[in-house]
Amino acid sequence: MGLMLAVSVNADEASAMTWVLMGDVVILLGVAALMGMICERIGLSSIVGAMLAGVLVGPGALNFVGEGDALAAIGTVAEVGVALLLFTIGLEITRSKLKAFGASAALAGILQILITGAVCAGVSMLLGLGLKSGIAIGAIVSLSSTAAVAGLLADRGETESPHGRLSLGILITQDVALVPLVLLVTFMGSSTEGQSVAEALEQVAWALVVVVAAVLIAGLWVLPHLFKRGNTSGNHDLPVVMAVVAGLLAAFFCQQVGLSPALGAFLTGLALADSPFARQIRSDVAVLKAVFLTLFFASIGTLADPGWIAQDSHLWLVLGVALALIVGKALLAATAALLSGATLAAAIGAGLVVAEIGEFSFVLGAVGRDAGLLDKATFQVLTSASLFTLLAVPVLMWAARPTGEAVARWCGREGKTVEAHGTQRSGHVVIVGGGPSGRMALQVLIEHGYEAVVVDMNPRTADILRRMELGAVVGDATRRDLLHEVSLLDSAAVLVTLPDPVSAVRVIENVRSFAADVPIIARGRYNRHSGLLLKAGADVVVNEEDRVGDVLGQEVVNRLGVRPLF
């Protein structure tokens, strides 16, 4: 009887704890959703809103959540959001996407992580911290916010701009590097005092090899077979369920063997990225991921202590650290981009875009704190400063392009002009942008007997065209001296093929102010940009969405045959 009573009491306590946890989760999600909507209305990321919600209702402010062990339990549940985010990031990183960003962007990302980590580690050691703590801080500072930056780049129409593509390449490299960095920090914390960092790195490498082999074997051979079997049953939800189960199972396996749970989830997504089910999996997991991620960012906000920040001169310390992180990281990232071959304007712009401290830095910070590499005060300063850097993301995005262009003009580094032939032309077509669209248009013009010269910022594009004995200029088409170089006043027409609408508008305005009567034909990536291009001075805008719809409809008619109207 006594045993049954004890079991009943324990069950009641467990049930009460569960409902306390449920209440805290509901409060966090509700306030995070509200704050996210407010932040998006004023131009900030919803991630910032979720973090501010955690600060507001957490133990440091209103103390609506975080009683007893509930906060730790929320953090554990929120880690599922990290695993799901890394799972979907892995699904996004297909082989074609890696090739599209190019080796230069990947090199910029690798150099940015190494340079930023090394400098931060050195500064930390000068401030009296140990080597392992310095490396942990360097790893934390080196990461930026993929979620915040990617969304704002898309909203601003800058994903195809030079600094936008470079920024996304750096962010993808950081996402790939997250798991090794988490493993590095974990092993440094678990290593003995006499164990060197090199030995810790060796352990990380061996652990990574074993886990990569196990998960990729399952992801490349076992899961595709199961997907096919599940799909033939007629239930299209089964492959998605199996994929999520596989990702979470891999996360659980990694956690059981002492590795980061995010590792297994990421590798599972990476293995499935080129499968035919990847798009469906990403779509169906999106809502679940959003819920858990909102909880995760809100739980990060609960780590901040507004009372501590308000004490003495802590606020000025945090603001000073945040400003130093933004300026220092922007300069280091720009240096890494320049070393990888980027133009000065793109490097400065990308440096500002990735100057914030990312959401995964909090994951590394928590790992470093739990591993004993960061004391409470250091962790509090980093966490608080990181929140301020995330608040600055919209301002950094707004300043990225004009700052990069202004610095390039001031330094006289707007791009060299390299002609394949003489500069004296007449009756030719100037093509701005040497990408696939520009090269295809060039081919059509040549077939019809027109001479053309291509203006592009990428030296490799000009090299390819020069080897074909075609006219090519490396430079910025918003420069008036470059327009002289390509004899714009004597040209028959200007074709602007740039996919980035902001860059296209600037080029069109510059061309129109330089040559008022030259016809301008512009590429419109999306219909919503047509008005901007026409207002800037384009005579004709070719909208991709309309043309694709025409071609698709015509292909259907060609396949099915023409039916009589009556």
pLDDT in tens, 490-500: 888 999 988 88
Domain boundary among 358, 375, 409: 409
Low-confidence winner among 136-140, 239-243, 428-432 (lowest mean pLDDT): 239-243
388 and 460 in a single domain? The answer is no
Question: Which one-letter amino acid corresponds to residue 336?
Answer: A
Most trustworthy range by pLDDT among 79-88, 155-164, 453-462:
453-462
For residue 45 the two structure tokens come to 């990321």
Q: In which band, very low, low, confident or very high, does the pLDDT at 501 lie, cut at 50, 70 and 90? A: confident
- Evaluate whether residue 3 is within a structural domain: no
Low-confidence winner among 68-77, 301-310, 512-521 (lowest mean pLDDT): 68-77
Domain boundary among 354, 378, 409: 409
- Evaluate whether residue 73 is within a structural domain: yes
- Evaluate whether residue 2 is within a structural domain: no
What integer pLDDT is reported at residue 228 of this predicted model? 64
Residue 324 pLDDT exceeds 90: yes
Mean pLDDT score, 502-526: 86
- Evaluate whether residue 417 is within a structural domain: no
Instruction: Give the whole-angstrom CA distance, residue 136 versus residue 451.
Output: 57
Q: Which helix (H) or strand (E) holds 522?
A: strand 520-524
Instruction: Give the whole-angstrom CA distance, residue 91 versus residue 116.
Output: 27
Mean pLDDT score, 451-469: 75
The whole model's pTM is what?
Answer: 0.65
337 and 447 in a single domain? The answer is no
Write out the DSSP string of 304-369: --HHHHHSTTHHHHHHHHHHHHHHHHHHHHHHHHHHTT--HHHHHHHHHHT-SPPTHHHHHHHHHH
Most trustworthy range by pLDDT among 14-18, 55-59, 323-327:
323-327
Q: Which of 275, 226, 276 is nearest to 246 (CA)?
A: 226
Phi and psi of 429, rounded to 5°?
Answer: -110, 130
What integer pLDDT is reported at residue 196 of this predicted model? 54
260 and 319 in a single domain? The answer is yes
Between 393-411 and 376-391, two packed helices, what is the crossing angle to 10 degrees? Answer: 70
Mean pLDDT score, 345-373: 84
Number of domains the chain is built from? 2
Distances from the Cα of 131 to the Cα of 123, 128, 186, 202, angstroms: 10, 9, 15, 17
Mean pLDDT score, 293-318: 79
Most trustworthy range by pLDDT among 112-121, 156-165, 198-207, 520-529:
112-121
Taking the CA atoms of 537, 541, 543 and 549 in sequence, report the sign of the dihedral they define.
positive
Q: For residue 162, what are the domain limits? A: 20-409
What integer pLDDT is reported at residue 76 of this predicted model? 66
294 and 343 in a single domain? The answer is yes
Residue 234 pLDDT exceeds 50: yes
Mean pLDDT of the chain: 77
Low-confidence winner among 270-274, 327-331, 423-427 (lowest mean pLDDT): 423-427
246 and 359 in a single domain? The answer is yes
279 and 391 in a single domain? The answer is yes
Distances from the Cα of 17 to the Cα of 178, 294, 296, 356, angstroms: 33, 22, 20, 37
367 and 492 in a single domain? The answer is no
Instruction: Give the whole-angstrom CA distance, residue 97 versus residue 106.
Output: 11
Helix residue spans in 392-458 (DSSP H): 393-411, 436-447
- Evaluate whether residue 85 is within a structural domain: yes
What integer pLDDT is reported at residue 328 of this predicted model? 92
404 and 435 in a single domain? The answer is no
- Evaluate whether residue 149 is within a structural domain: yes
